[in-house]
Amino acid sequence: MLQWHVFSSLLLKMLLYLIELDFPSSLTNSERAFIHRLTQSLGYVSKSRG
C-alpha cells in the first residue's frame, strides 16, 4: 500500500510539473544559475527566455 507521504510527494511533483514559474528579469546571472541548478536537482526542467 502506498503511504500517504509518498503519495502526497508524488502528487506535489506532478502538480509542480504542470506549473510554469516566471522569475523577474532583474535577477542576476548568479541568481538565475542558482535557480537552474536547484530546478535540475529536483528533477525539473528549466528554460530561459529573452
Full DSSP string of 6-50: HHHHHHHHHHHHH------TT--HHHHHHHHHHHHHTT-------
What pLDDT, on the 0 to 100 scale, is given for residue 48?
81
Residue 40, C-alpha cell as written in the block: 535540475
What pLDDT, on the 0 to 100 scale, is given for residue 2?
66
Q: Which residues contact 27 (CB under 8 A, 6 or more apart)?
A: 35
State pTM to two decimals.
Answer: 0.58
**How many alpha carbons lie under 13 Å from residue 5 in its C-beta half-sphere?**
0
Tens of pLDDT along the chain (50 residues) come to: 568 888 788 787 777 777 788 888 898 999 999 988 988 887 777 888 76
Domain boundaries, the chain: 21-50
What pLDDT, on the 0 to 100 scale, is given for residue 1?
59
